[in-house]
């Protein structure tokens, strides 16, 4: 178990180069964290207006939503790298590292749910996502260890939503009638709930060993 989320892209050349460039500017890790919320808000708005919009306009908005979801993840990657690898961490960095992620999950998942006309499903997915983070933070507070296990941690949630967007855009080519985006929200909600249960069980096991 590690104190930082294991992300393969952290070791890629583009991430290291971009981190070095950002380190040379006045941009702070906290500002990058805030930018992730802005990206999530734009994704949520694009989902809200585009999830049920027919035609080319809906396609454009869904593509924009997928791009903003990935931009949110890039910001989440870079804020930590600029803070740690570039040595620009701040005393309040822990707050800005966590709080924007929780807001971002709600903005994206609820935005998608409302766009589909399924606000309850969007809120259920968001609540399940927030619970995974709560259990992880509870584990860190009580045992000093972060548990980033899945099956539906933050990167997995964004991967499911982004993949669903791509499938939804291509769906008319084969005349499918299944609501792919709605299925994706169910997958996130159920998967995040399973993740919360798994993390809880692992935390209880660790606490009993203390």
Per-residue pLDDT in tens (0 to 9) along the chain, 210 residues: 456 788 878 889 999 999 999 999 999 999 999 999 999 999 999 999 999 888 889 999 999 999 999 999 999 999 999 998 888 989 999 899 899 999 999 999 999 999 999 999 999 999 999 999 999 999 999 999 999 999 999 999 999 999 999 999 887 665 555 589 999 999 999 999 999 999 999 999 999 987
Residue in 153, 135, 154, 155 with CA at minimum distance from that of residue 145:
135
Token pair, residue 9, equals 């892209």
Q: Would you list the domain boundaries of the chain?
A: 8-209
Provide the total of helices (H) and of strands (E) in the chain, helices listed first.
7, 0
Look at the domain 8-209 and name its fold. Answer: 1.20.120
DSSP one-letter code for 92: T
């Amino acid at each position: 178990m590690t104190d930082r989320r294991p992300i393969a892209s952290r070791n890629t050349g583009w991430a290291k180069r971009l981190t070095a460039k950002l380190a040379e500017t006045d941009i702070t890790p906290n500002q990058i964290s805030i930018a992730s919320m802005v990206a999530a808000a734009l994704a949520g708005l694009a989902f809200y207006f585009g999830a049920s919009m027919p035609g080319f306009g809906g396609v454009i908005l869904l593509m924009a939503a997928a791009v903003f979801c990935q931009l949110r993840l890039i910001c989440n990657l870079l804020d930590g790298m600029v803070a740690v690898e570039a040595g620009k961490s701040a005393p309040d960095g822990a707050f800005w590292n966590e709080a924007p992620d929780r807001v971002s999950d709600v903005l994206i998942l609820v935005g998608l749910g409302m766009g589909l006309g399924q606000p309850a499903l969007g809120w259920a997915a968001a609540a399940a996502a927030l619970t995974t983070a709560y259990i992880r933070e509870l584990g860190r507070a009580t045992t000093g260890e972060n548990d980033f296990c899945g099956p539906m941690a933050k990167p997995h949630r964004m991967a499911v939503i982004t993949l669903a967007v791509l499938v939804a855009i291509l769906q008319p080519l084969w005349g499918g009638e299944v609501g792919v985006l709605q299925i994706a929200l169910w997958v996130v909600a159920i998967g995040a709930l399973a993740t919360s249960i798994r993390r809880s069980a692992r935390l209880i096991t660790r606490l009993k060993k203390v």
